[in-house]
Chains A and B, each alone.
Chain A
Amino acid sequence: MTYYPFVVAAVLFVAGLYGAITSRSYVHLAVCLTVMQASTYVLLLAIGYLRGAAPPITQGQLPGTRLVDPVVQALTLTDIVVSVVVLALILSLAVQAHRRAGTVDPDKLRRIRG
């Protein structure tokens, strides 16, 4: 149990990467990138966890209770905003692909080569 959350993070990372590379749709690809990003959330939050500790809010807590790591939570929050933002941009590009080229399949959209 002490190692399991890290395994989850690693598997999510690799699974997202696999899904993105073998994807047949830019929308699916964008969501796979989100899965890759989710692996970093899992890792960060697992790093910051302390068994038996309280959330990092001191309102209503007895002074001296152990709290979990607030820094990773701030990092994860920033991470989430970054991932949403990138998702929005890639999806806008996918919408344009559908509109202009009539397809969202990466294999069918090839104008530049060599």
Chain B
Amino acid sequence: MSLLLPLVVALPLVVAALLAAVGTHLPRVLPDLIAIGTAAAVTAISLLLLLDSGDHPIVYWFGGWRPVPGPGGQPHVIAPGIAFVIDPFAAAEAALAGLAVLATLIFAWRYFETIRHLFHALMLAFLGGMVGFALSGDLFNIFVFFELMSVAGYALCAYRVERPDVLQGSLNFAILNSMGAFAMLMGIAMLYGSTGALNLVDIGSTLSHQHPTGLMVASLTLITVGFLVKAGAAPFHFWLSDAYAVATAAAAAIFTAVMGELAFHVYARIYTTVFAESITGSAAAAVTAALISLAVLSALVGAVMCALEADTKRQVAFLTVSNGGAVLAGIALLNPTGLAGAIMYIVAAGLLRGALMLGLGMVVTRLGTSDELRLRGRGRARRHIPLGVLIALCGLGLAAPPPFGPFLSLSLIYDAVDQAGYGWVAPVLAACVAVSAGTVLRAAARIFLGWGDRTDPLLTEQPEEPQEGEPEPEERGARRRLWMLSPAFALVVAGYGLAFGPHLAAHAIDAARGLQDHAEHARLVLQGIVPAPRPLPDYHPSPLALGYGAASFAGALLIAAAGLWWQRLLASTSKRLRAAVLPPANALKALHSGNVGDYATWLVAGTAAVALSWALTLR
């Protein structure tokens, strides 16, 4: 195991470097095969790590630098090296990243001709960055992997930069993510200055002895903002809708499936290991309150904007924001059930969203555009049936019907919010799930069945652009082959099936408990003392959660129908309805202006709000 573990990061990076160095001299198919093989290997190793870390997290010290006792008189140990701390959640995230990249590489088989070696090298570097980001246990190491992931992301998003919308999206992506990254780095520097350590567990234990209020507030705010910008939580989410909508399907699939959600997971891990020990009682309640507000805001804004879009890729972008709200709600509760639910939802919904984005990529190539209204009825031919089925399955899955994967994870979150006294959050989340999934179903029905009206004043349409272009004429035939959808179908099956592993929810809650037991975790990481095995908790979704699941599923179907036919059904009152609903809808849309200065202003305003609320309440 210790031989394979570093390979999970080293392998994609070394293959990326070699492909970039000699890729132009290799025969046509070889770089694709090598890249696919590497991604498959990373996925396989991550799954092995997942199985291996079931009892207790695996700790791996690079360079052989194990922690040493501090000099005489100092209570704690010093960790001179960098460790990877691999708990089941981290391994699951790494496996998700590997799967997403694998599916995308198969989907993009021989798609990018002229810059093929660059594309594969960037994808593998991106994969290496994501895996390291998920697994690392050192705060500065997390930051550098974050930057690797981001830089590769900016480059991949900017493919086809000659189109103005791609240019704008990439610029917004790069600029806002960089601002978030610098804020994070400032927070990391402050923590280092105060505690003198960079290992997560080390910082946590030192901080719990010290308790400096101002520094805690400032560094927590900065680190929170840094991660939430990447994750796309409101009000830091504006760049996400622009970037995910314009990126080419291959890159956008990975962004929506895994990149943003990884930031949520790593944020949860950092909060639990570094801050949670020092922030207890009413201070913890303040943190929960602030994060829950951001979570609910994300869920609502994401769901509403999703329903108000005509461009399907932008719908998926806002869907990502909305799902992120549910994840953040689970994390915000700071209890094991919520954390377990959040991570499982990241994986389940991520798989479905990745498949959805790949399907939409094929829609653009085969049907010409990504705008739902312009595509009305274009998908009705028989040869488009598998594509329609794929998109419908994604929409149905995202609506969280019991007993499948997304439902199980959401039920953990619903039960957790109930336990923590935030019961009102659960119906809000269920409604948002219904609205966003319903929009996907609406789009699928309009495109593939031709149902619904041809125009809709509520939906924003983007200016007519030649979408995606056809790369080279000789690729046209290749692009339309349906076997390229098979990885997408595999992702859907995995997403649905995530509820059916043995005691999956129980294992997840157990892993979360292990993470939140600070003393035990610290002993494991810093001293290598393996914890005693704990009995597995028991989990079954409560009747309330089942109710919410059924409601969100039914609600999604209703919303889809309403979206398709609201103008006809409400013909008599539609003028008054339009007058009542259009102005607030347009106001919300105007906020998403596409201007980087506006977006950054919201970032700053959000940071100030969080900072001030914590300055007043974190004692």
Contacts and interface: CB of A to CB of B under 8 A. Distances in A.
B147 A20 contact: no
B594 interface: yes
Interface string A27-56: 001000100110110011001000000000
A101 interface: yes
Q: B interface, by DSSP: helix, strand, loop or mixed?
A: helix
Contacts of B174: 86, 89-90, 93
Given A33-B182, A100-B164, A113 B593 contact: yes
A85 B233 CA distance: 26
Interface in A76-114: 78-79, 82, 85-86, 89-90, 93-94, 96-97, 100-101, 106-107, 109-114
Given A112-B462, A114-B309, A39 B186 contact: yes
Given A47-B193, A112-B246, A93 B590 contact: no
A89 B189 contact: no
Nearest to A35: B182
B68 to A, nearest CB: 15
B320 interface: no
Interface stretch (B22-30, B153-161, B270-278, B437-445): B153-161
Nearest to A75: B140
B144 A82 contact: yes
B167 A29 contact: no
Given A13-B186, A20-B175, A43 B462 contact: no
A52 to B, nearest CB: 19
Contacts of A23: 597
A33 B176 CA distance: 10
B187 to A, nearest CB: 10
A106 B595 contact: yes
Contact of B179 (A36, A78, A96, A100): A36
A78 B144 contact: yes
Contact of A22 (B182, B245, B308, B597): B597
A113 B167 contact: no
Nearest to A29: B175
A84 to B, nearest CB: 11
A93 B158 contact: yes
Contacts of A15: none
B575 interface: no
A67 interface: no
Contacts of B192: 44, 47, 72, 75
A96 B186 contact: no
A21 B604 contact: yes
B597 A40 contact: no
Interface in A13-27: 13, 17, 20-23, 26
B296 interface: no
Given A96-B161, A100-B162, A112 B190 contact: no
B128 interface: no
Interface size class of B (residues with CB under 8 A): 35 or more
A61 to B, nearest CB: 20
B178 interface: yes
A97 B170 CA distance: 11
Contact of A114 (B161, B182, B592, B601): B592
Contact of B170 (A20, A37, A93): A93
B596 interface: yes
Contact of A17 (B140, B162, B179): B179
Interface residues of A, number: 40
A85 B174 CA distance: 11
Contacts of B198: 71
A89 B167 CA distance: 12
B167 A93 contact: yes
A96 B174 CA distance: 14
A97 B171 contact: yes
A114 B198 CA distance: 41
A43 B190 contact: yes
A33 B596 CA distance: 13
B293 interface: no
A69 to B, nearest CB: 9
A113 B597 contact: no
Contacts of B593: 110, 113
A94 B185 CA distance: 25
Given A21-B601, A89-B151, A112 B594 contact: yes
Nearest to A89: B154
A110 B175 CA distance: 15
B372 to A, nearest CB: 14
B179 A33 contact: yes
Contacts of B175: 20, 29, 33, 90
B510 interface: no
A29 B600 CA distance: 11
B212 to A, nearest CB: 14
A13 B190 CA distance: 13
A40 B597 CA distance: 22
Contacts of B594: 110-113
B575 to A, nearest CB: 22
Interface in B570-619: 589-590, 592-597, 600-601, 604
A79 B185 contact: yes
Contacts of A111: 164-165, 168, 462-463, 594
Contacts of A72: 192
B597 A90 contact: no
A34 B154 CA distance: 17
A110 B190 CA distance: 37
B365 interface: no
Given A36-B182, A43-B193, A111-B463, A85 B151 contact: yes
A72 B246 CA distance: 39
Nearest to B596: A106
Interface of B: 140, 144, 147, 151, 154-155, 158, 161-162, 164-165, 167-171, 174-175, 178-179, 181-182, 185-186, 189-190, 192-193, 198, 242, 245-246, 308-309, 460, 462-463, 589-590, 592-597, 600-601, 604
28 contacts: A17-B179, A20-B179, A33-B182, A36-B179, A43-B193, A71-B198, A72-B192, A78-B140, A82-B144, A85-B147, A86-B147, A86-B174, A86-B178, A89-B155, A90-B175, A93-B161, A93-B174, A96-B167, A101-B164, A106-B597, A110-B594, A110-B595, A111-B463, A112-B168, A112-B245, A113-B589, A113-B594, A114-B590
Q: Which 6 A-B pairs have the closest CB atoms?
A: A114-B589, A114-B460, A47-B193, A111-B165, A21-B600, A110-B594
Given A17-B179, A44-B192, A96-B161, 10 more contacts: A21-B601, A40-B182, A40-B185, A40-B186, A43-B186, A78-B140, A93-B161, A94-B171, A109-B167, A113-B590
